[in-house]
A and B are shown apart, each in its own frame.
Chain A
């Protein structure tokens, strides 16, 4: 089967299957998002909204500090909340944190966070959540590559927020991320990025 671009409403398979972002109608499955069908017939959406799961590692920004805890912006419709019980240090408004999702309410409401670490000064960049596996790479090979050539630290959250340390070469890293974003569905991406870093352009 050849690789094919799929648009909403396109048929992706005969018969009933359990597929995310697809629906069953008249004996076939239809896509609801723009995506690709790969060589094995698997349907992969290119861009999809973030669906939080338990134990996801997220990067967020503290938007409210209260006695009971902190509200955190995760780039998701429902924000996160860290109870004061689970943080040893005091956080401040605008702090960037790395945390783990402890639980999600059944209705997809506010998420409880734990394992909080405060990240030093840096920049937060949005990255499409569906492409995050490519940004990290196999055994985080891509991330190591970016850290090595970008002379700094990068932390990727499952929620699509990427923290880049102030000490690193931010424009270079962002440019590399743009290439990964645009070419996420191609093979040999690590080589492409190595080439980009070594040749400069």
Chain B
């Protein structure tokens, strides 16, 4: 990341996995797959496989961590030991997963109507089963579906997608190789209704114009993801109606 490398990321206008520069990887979202949780969702985003479960609002533990004015959101992002080549058989909290838990939590602190449940906590557990670049954006996307499925009031849905620069061109939804050998990576989260930016991070170097281009491209990409999220949520309730044909 950051420097120039020998890996050719774009050949004849096609990326390493055959996508065009503004094409998303294949995404499949399924809501309500863990009956034991209040809400849950699963996402397959290219090679990423992430499961998310939501509990709450429930009693805040430890008690001194409770806020008498609003609910506290607790987010735990964790990558399984077998998720990728880089993880060496450990899955405890690391510098990386603590950071990701924090940025994901802050996205939802802006969306969830926490004032409704003073003194409680809402738990969001995100487990990455398989990783292939862009797990933080996929995690935000799947957690939004799980929270909606849990019946936790949210002002809006959110979808996240990364943009960046690889092979001297702006690309959408960076895969693992583009992430490792590209010039820049910029994960962004957009709310569904107002297109508010809820997460901006950047790695590498970009000019002002390039950032504008990436934001525009990611906004278009996020619209497609939001459609998939909405379909996943609709499916849960429409299936419930169809399942029992008496």
Interface residues of A (CB under 8 A from B): 5, 7-9, 21, 23, 30, 32-34, 45-49, 77-79, 107-109, 128, 130, 179, 181-183, 185-186, 192, 195-196, 199, 201
Asked if residues A107 and B68 are in contact (CB atoms below 8 Å), the reply is yes
What are the 8 closest A-B residue pairs judged by CB atoms, nearest first? A47-B151, A32-B153, A9-B156, A182-B240, A77-B120, A8-B154, A9-B193, A77-B58
Indicate if the CB atoms of B59 and A32 lie closer than 8 Å: no
Contact of B241 among A33, A78, A185 (CB under 8 A): A185
Are B193 and A32 in contact (CB-based, < 8 A)? no
- Cα(A183)–Cα(B246), bound, Å: 11
Chain B: residues with CB nearer than 8 A to chain A?
56-60, 68, 113, 116-120, 148-157, 191-193, 230, 233-234, 237-238, 240-241, 243-244, 246
Which among B116, B151, B193 has the greatest number of chain A C-beta atoms within 10 A? Answer: B151
A contact patch SS: loop
Most buried by B among A47, A77, A78, A186: A77
Instruction: Flag if A77 contacts B233 (CB, 8 Å).
Output: no
A residues within 8 A CB of B193? 9, 30
> Which residues on the B side are within 8 Å of A195 (C-beta)?
246
Task: List chain A residues, Cβ under 8 A from B241.
Answer: 182-183, 185-186
**Given A9-B192, A32-B113, A79-B59, list of 9 further CB < 8 A pairs?**
A5-B234, A32-B155, A49-B57, A49-B152, A107-B119, A128-B151, A183-B241, A192-B244, A192-B246
Given contacts A48-B151, A49-B57, A49-B152, contact A8 B119 (CB under 8 A): no
A9 touches B191 (CB 8 A): yes
CB-based contact B233/A182 at 8 Å: no
* Chain A residue at minimal CB-CB distance from B238: A5
